[in-house]
Amino acid sequence: MACIIDGKRISAEIREKLKIDIANLKTERGIVPSLAVVIVGDDPASRVYVNNKKRACDEIGIMSYEFALPCDTSQAELLSLIDELNRRADVNGILVQMPLPAHINESSVIERINPIKDVDAFHEINVGKLMTGNFNFLPCTPAGIVRLLDESNIDIAGKHCVIISRSNIVGKPLAMLMLHRDATVTICHSKTSNLAEICRTADILVSAVGRANFITSDMVAPGTVVIDVGINRGGDGKIRGDVDFENVKQVTSYITPVPGGVGPMTICMLMHNAVTAALLQSGD
Ligand code: NAP
């Protein structure tokens, strides 16, 4: 029977430490980290994510500014807001909530953000820095996954890590992070042959597919660590991960639940990046 990795508890402990660091920064150096969150349109899921991020900022003492733009905002208008936020000395981090409406080119928006304020670490400069290991910011979900493993005292070096995803926000950056931590990494995707067979060779299996019950117990070898990144809303309104949790947890050594696993860590790492941005901009 698996040990359940409690992302809610671990993230609460990290946020508590961040809160103390932020209070010290304010009293000792007059630095108050700040984050601008930009949302375009009225996608309900995006609204929930933005509210969660703002609440997390409020709780630990990060100043947050919200820019809610109508869904018919033009690309030029959005880029001009990014330019303004890049210039503003009172804005340390800029986060544009994805997805954007179809008429806006997401990559041109990401590339417009000053890399030193790019707290999502999606800008090509920050992607390149992750490749070389010379990074300021780590992308939030992959950083949260590695932190969950570390906080659970799970060794990464020398382990075979199988990642089901080659997305720019999860699979590719996580693969790079795990490589930096001396894992042997296999990346799988929708064209991978023998997926179940590969999964059974994993010491650490990460699924970020976005399909409920995608990982079944026959795909997991006894003792595997299973990290479930998926967020899938069922017909009953409940959130589920990619993993058939009840059956898979009988086989694994460690497993993350959904909700309460990777999700809370993602926001926590965003807060961490906002503090890093403030320090970088203060000259540290
Ligand atoms: P995405 O861009 O659609 O990527 C999904 C990946 O899964 C792709 O690489 C895709 O392969 C692969 N895939 C799809 N069907 C497959 C199959 N049958 N066999 C093997 N691989 C398959 O999605 P995303 O934005 O990365 O998000 C993935 C999931 O993670 C979603 O549920 C999302 O909500 C969740 N998520 C959670 C957090 C969090 O904080 N917990 C953060 C980010 C994302 P191809 O490349 O070949 O299409």
Clarify whether 53 is annotated catalytic.
Answer: yes
Clarify whether 83 is annotated catalytic.
Answer: no
Q: Three-state secondary structure along 51-78?
A: HHHHHHHHHHCCEEEEEEECCCCCHHHH
In one-letter notation, the amino acid at residue 53 is K
Closest C-alpha residue for ligand 1 atom 16: 190
Q: Are 191 and 171 in contact (CB under 8 A)?
A: no
Q: Are 253 and 224 in contact (CB under 8 A)?
A: yes
- CB of 260 sitting under 6 A from ligand 1: no
Closest C-alpha residue for ligand 1 atom 5: 209
- CB of 238 sitting under 6 A from ligand 1: no
Q: How far is CA 180 from CA 85, 143, 149, in A?
A: 32, 12, 14
Question: What is the 229 CA–ligand 1 centroid distance (Å)?
Answer: 8
- CB of 233 sitting under 6 A from ligand 1: no
- CB of 219 sitting under 6 A from ligand 1: no
Question: What is the 170 CA–ligand 1 centroid distance (Å)?
Answer: 8
Closest C-alpha residue for ligand 1 atom 26: 167
SS3 29: helix
5 HSE (CA, 13 A, CB side): 29
Phi and psi angles of residue 168, each rounded to the nearest 5 degrees, phi first? -70, -25
Clarify whether 250 is annotated catalytic.
Answer: no
221: tokens are 């070898």
Q: Which of 6, 118, 120, 228 is catalytic?
A: 120
- CB of 261 sitting under 6 A from ligand 1: no
pLDDT at 1: 78
Q: Whole-angstrom distance between the N-terminal and C-terminal Cα of the chain?
A: 46
Encode the chain (284 residues) as per-residue pLDDT tens digits. Answer: 799 999 999 999 999 999 999 999 999 999 999 999 999 999 999 999 999 999 999 999 999 999 999 999 999 999 999 999 999 999 999 999 999 999 999 999 999 999 999 999 999 999 999 999 999 999 999 999 999 999 999 999 999 999 999 999 999 999 999 999 999 999 999 999 999 999 999 999 999 999 999 999 999 999 999 999 999 998 998 999 999 999 999 999 999 999 999 999 999 999 999 999 999 999 87
d(CA 19, CA 209): 33
Closest C-alpha residue for ligand 1 atom 35: 230
Q: Which atom from ligand 1 is nearest to the alpha carbon of 164?
A: 21
Q: What is the pTM of this model?
A: 0.97
Closest C-alpha residue for ligand 1 atom 31: 210
- CB of 264 sitting under 6 A from ligand 1: no
Of 40, 185, 44, nearest in space to 100 by CA: 40
Q: Are 62 and 35 in contact (CB under 8 A)?
A: yes
